[in-house]
Amino acid sequence: MSRNISLAFAGLLGLGAAANGMFMLISPANWYFAVPGGTTTGPFNQHFLRDIGLIFLLVAVAMLTGVARPAARLPLWSAAALWLAGHALFHFWEVAVGICGPGALIQDFSAVTLPAILTIALALWAWRDAAGSRQLRKAE
């Protein structure tokens, strides 16, 4: 993956996480009813939605800071990938135990699973990029 494409994806993921987090914080009830499948995961809980909104803002800060600061990229993107992957796995668990039907995975894919996959790929890219930079410094 080229540097420019990686940074563009990271920026888009960061902006998307920021928009989602702000929506959850500013208008949790509207977020709950606007997101497909949201109402099937349990009753509305304003406090819980705002807590998750804060996490999405932290993911946004991690992704956007990683774009701007290469030295911080690997730990920040890895942390974001860890949370997003855990979130996606939780959605799979809900299907496995019967809380949601398998259709929920398809419905959630673009907003839950895909960002996790992309962020994992970006964290792996950052790891490879950091390793390459270390090798260049050693060769000098």
User: What is the reported pTM?
Assistant: 0.90
Instruction: Find the distance separating the first CA and the last CA of the chain, reported in whole Å.
Output: 25
> Mean pLDDT across the stretch 68-84?
97
Task: Determine contact, residues 96/25, Cβ cutoff 8 Å.
Answer: no
CA distance 2 to 60: 21
- Residue-wise pLDDT tens digits, 28-60: 999 999 998 888 888 999 999 999 999 999 999
Q: pLDDT category, 140, cuts 50, 70, 90?
A: low
Per-residue pLDDT band at 135 (split at 50, 70, 90): low
Beta-carbon contacts of 32 under 8 Å, excluding residues fewer than 6 positions away, are 38, 39, 44, 49
Q: CA 57 → CA 7, 20, 24, 49, 140, distances in Å?
A: 18, 8, 10, 12, 39
Residue (of 91, 89, 109) closest to 100 by Cα position: 91
Instruction: Report the percent of the chain where pLDDT is more than 70.
Output: 94
More confidently predicted of 135 and 20:
20
Mean pLDDT of 91-120: 95
State which amino acid sits at residue 94. Answer: E
Biggest distance spanned by C-alpha atoms of the chain: 59
C-alpha–C-alpha distance, residues 24 and 19, integer Å: 9
pLDDT in tens, 8-30: 999 999 999 999 999 999 999 99
More confident of the two residues 113 and 38: 113
